[in-house]
Amino acid sequence: MLVDSHAHLLSLEDPVDAVSRAAAEGIGKIISIGTGLESSNATVELSRKYKGVYVSVGIHPHSASDFSEEVMGELGGMLEDPKVVAVGETGLDYHYMNSPREDQIRSFEAHMELARRHSLPFVVHVRDADEDLLSMLRGTDFGTKPGVIHCFSGDYQTAKKYLDLGFYISFSGIVTFKRAEEVRDAAAKIPIERLLYETDSPYLAPVPERGKPNEPRNVVYVARLISQLRGLSFEEFTSIVFENVTELFPKVSKDKDGLI
């Protein structure tokens, strides 16, 4: 059973069609990620229509300036929903710097605290900000499975630093890009029980769909490539990653009834 551990269903042109196509392709679970209060709320609504669609609620680092105690309180209220399995995406993005650094740090701290209080994992986005992120993570005490570094685009040495803190590492379509040698090296080497994959759709469509809008069914290409790197059959590999997803996100059901 295939899982897309990170998609933004509400940012797709037609989420309903995309979910049907994913189901036809054998994808059994999708974790759809909120990027702000409104999209988190709407994603929870959408998840009620599908057995296998789950939600993570949070404020994207790009929108970190929207952060307030009030917004965090509302996000916190959503965490009781059975379909809400994680907090985020949150993190630091110094590449685009769409919100000032201080706002990103404040928002990330509040998300970590929320996740800790509710004993839920958090979904982390990091771009050109590993140093600050790692120092914040190291200064915080959380459980043995704090969360996932999503859309990992670094090398093995960087992955190792997050693994040492208990994080899972999730690979997106970047792993299929020609010049992503270092990312492939990391995907080949990290402990398999900490590996996840995702589409991050509608962004970053994998080869051979590159350049088109991405959608959850394309997680097949990401999974296939990593299974080859690991020297495992597609079936064996995807069943390991399915286990990993339910380990990290305990609210995701272990049943294999399918997406719809």
Give contact residues for Zn ion (rule: CB under 5 A): 125, 200
Q: How far is the CB of 125 from Zn ion (least distance, A)?
A: 3
Q: Which amino acid is at 94?
A: Y
Nearest to Zn ion by Cβ — which residue? 125
- Nearer Cβ to Zn ion, position 4 or 200? 200
Q: How far is the CB of 177 from Zn ion (least distance, A)?
A: 16
Q: How far is the CB of 147 from Zn ion (least distance, A)?
A: 13
Q: Of 160, 36, 45, nearest to 107 (Cα)? A: 36
- Nearer Cβ to Zn ion, position 35 or 176? 35
- Nearer Cβ to Zn ion, position 111 or 125? 125
Q: Of 206, 23, 167, 194, nearest to 88 (Cα)? A: 167
Phi–psi pair at 37, nearest 5 degrees: -60, -45
- Nearer Cβ to Zn ion, position 172 or 244? 172
End-to-end CA distance of the chain: 13
Q: How far is the CB of 39 from Zn ion (least distance, A)?
A: 11
CA count, 13 A, side-chain hemisphere, 46: 28
- Lookup: tokens for 204: 């970053």
- Nearer Cβ to Zn ion, position 6 or 194? 6
- Describe the strand order of the beta sheet including 168-171 as a list of residue ranges: 2-7, 27-33, 53-57, 84-93, 122-127, 147-149, 168-171, 195-197
- Nearer Cβ to Zn ion, position 200 or 215? 200
DSSP code, position 100: -
Q: How far is the CB of 33 from Zn ion (least distance, A)?
A: 5
Euclidean distance between CA atoms 111 and 91, whole angstroms: 9
Q: How far is the CB of 76 from Zn ion (least distance, A)?
A: 21
